[in-house]
Amino acid sequence: MADPGPRLGPVSFPFFGFIYELTHVYDSCDRAAARYIKALASPSDVILTNYGVAPLQYYTGLKTIGGYQGLPLPAKPDWIVARGFFDETPGDTMWGAVWARADPKSYALQPLMCPDASVADIAEPALHYFRQPGADRARSIMVFRRKQ
Average confidence (pLDDT) over 45-59: 89
The amino acid that residue 71 corresponds to is: L
Tell me how far apart the alpha carbons of residues 71 and 67 are, in angstroms, rounded to a whole number.
10
Tell me how far apart the alpha carbons of residues 84 and 82 are, in angstroms, rounded to a whole number.
6
3-class secondary-structure state, position 87:
coil
In total, the chain counts a number of residues equal to 148
How would residue 63 be classed by pLDDT, with cut points 50, 70 and 90? Answer: very high
Distance of CA 12 to CAs 4, 24, 26, 66, 131, Å?
6, 19, 20, 36, 15
pLDDT digits (tens, 9 = 90+) for 23-36: 877 677 888 899 99
How would residue 117 be classed by pLDDT, with cut points 50, 70 and 90? Answer: low
CA atoms within 13 A on the CB side of 105: 1
